[in-house]
Amino acid sequence: MAYKILYIDDQDSSSRKKDFESIGYDVETYKPTNDFKEIAVKVKDGIDALILDYKLTEGEGEQACFDAPTVAQFVRTLHIKDNYDIPIVLMSNQKIFTDSYKKDFTSQDLFDFTITKQEFNASKSDFGKKLKSFIEAYTKIKSDKSLLLSLGLNKDFKLNSRLNLSYAKVKNDIFIVSTLIYEDIISSVGLTIGEEVLAARLGIAINSDQWSDVLDSLKESKYTGVFSDFKNRWWMAKVNLWWNEKISDSIPIRRLNAYERVELIRLKLKLENLTIATKTKYSKSSNFWTVCKYSKEPIDPFDGVELLKDYLPWQEKEYLSLDSALLNREEFKNLISKIDKKEIRELATKLNKDE
């Protein structure tokens, strides 16, 4: 049975309705008035997700006097009372709104994710998969009532104590638990890692011919909790266990450079055609442990430029490679310290003189 979504927009939504139906959803559309009771009835009529256009005050005829955040806040409040919660997605023609809500702390109490209509049109299928993943995550989180179960872990797995404390404070709020898992656990480097970081930590080029064989060997380390149908992640603790059991029980991965790591993996897994990952342009070390936030190329954090963010206790810091930092990427300019900016300018000046 297809999941049912409610799409609220003050403009003609017949075309958007067809778009959602084309990716497998049962769709009800609604042009808002100022009567919140109507919205309450619509939301409680067995829908699985709510999608809101940002601007709801510009349609013809009777117009609503509120926009998407107000509706989202109303729906979240409804669900606090009846313990019935659903994913809410912000969609807009205007990129400034979705970008601002990604960065605005208050939005984290309202929307599960945001998307522009241009992004939706470019990849309807990906949107459909992501929304389905959120719908199913809500259902599982509600039935599990346990962070370990929702993360696909058994009771013996030791989570960060601060994470357990964070979960304990919000465990009865499905939306907040979903956000904690998606944003703070499986979308950051720390307890779990993505494929690029995994390859970097093993010293292997991600386009290596036998990379899939390495992933197959690591299948027991794979993240299998909620959202795993949409996000490919691995538990770093389990990767370390795999290393100890199958590669080396005497030398931790972190002590070795890329060449040494790959040589051991080639020997132990009998994969002669693995390709060693290469350093970025201005890097000195191949003791890779992360990837450049912009280019996704492997780097040793000692060669990188740290991005200043509010990291949670179980999260690792993010970095730019020097070559990416030298390009003065606009999206990262406010995340680099004044000292690092000064050093980057000095390096750029030196490089320009050497040319």
Any idea where the domains of the chain sit in the sequence?
A: 4-139, 145-185, 191-277, 289-355
What is the arithmetic mean of pLDDT over 99-118? 71
Write the pLDDT tens digit of every residue in 14-69: 999 999 999 999 999 988 777 778 888 888 778 999 999 876 655 555 565 677 88
pLDDT at position 149, please?
Answer: 96
Lowest mean pLDDT among 122-136, 174-188, 324-338: 324-338
Q: Which residue type, as a one-letter code, is found at position 269?
A: L
Write the pLDDT tens digit of every residue in 185-199: 999 999 999 999 999
pLDDT range class, residue 82, cuts 50, 70, 90: low
Give the CATH class of 4-139: alpha beta
pLDDT higher than threshold 80 for residue 351: no
pLDDT at position 99, please?
Answer: 56
pLDDT at position 105, please?
Answer: 44
Do 27 and 5 meet the contact criterion of CB atoms below 8 Å apart? yes
3-state secondary structure of 240: helix
**What residues contact 296, with CB distance under 8 A and at least 6 apart?**
196
Strand partners, 305: 320
- What's the pTM? 0.91
Output the DSSP codes for 173-236. -HHHHHHIIIIIISSSSSSEE-HHHHHHHHTB-TT-TTHHHHHHHTGGGB--STTTTT---EEH
pLDDT range class, residue 106, cuts 50, 70, 90: very low
Token output for 174: 């499905």
pLDDT higher than threshold 50 for residue 166: yes
Write the pLDDT tens digit of every residue in 215-264: 999 999 999 999 999 999 999 999 999 999 999 999 999 999 999 999 99
pLDDT range class, residue 273, cuts 50, 70, 90: very high
Lowest mean pLDDT among 100-104, 301-305, 328-332: 100-104
**Distance (Å, rounded) from C-alpha 64 to C-alpha 313?**
43
User: What does pLDDT average to over the chain?
Assistant: 89
Strand partners, 49: 5
**What residues contact 335, with CB distance under 8 A and at least 6 apart?**
307, 308, 309
pLDDT higher than threshold 90 for residue 352: no
pLDDT higher than threshold 90 for residue 130: yes
**Distance (Å, rounded) from C-alpha 146 to C-alpha 227?**
15
Instruction: Tell me 276's DSSP state.
Output: B
pLDDT at position 144, please?
Answer: 92
pLDDT at position 92, please?
Answer: 80
pLDDT range class, residue 348, cuts 50, 70, 90: confident
pLDDT higher than threshold 70 for residue 102: no
Radius of gyration of the chain (CA): 23
Token output for 281: 């342009």
pLDDT range class, residue 96, cuts 50, 70, 90: low
**Distance (Å, rounded) from C-alpha 1 to C-alpha 298?**
43
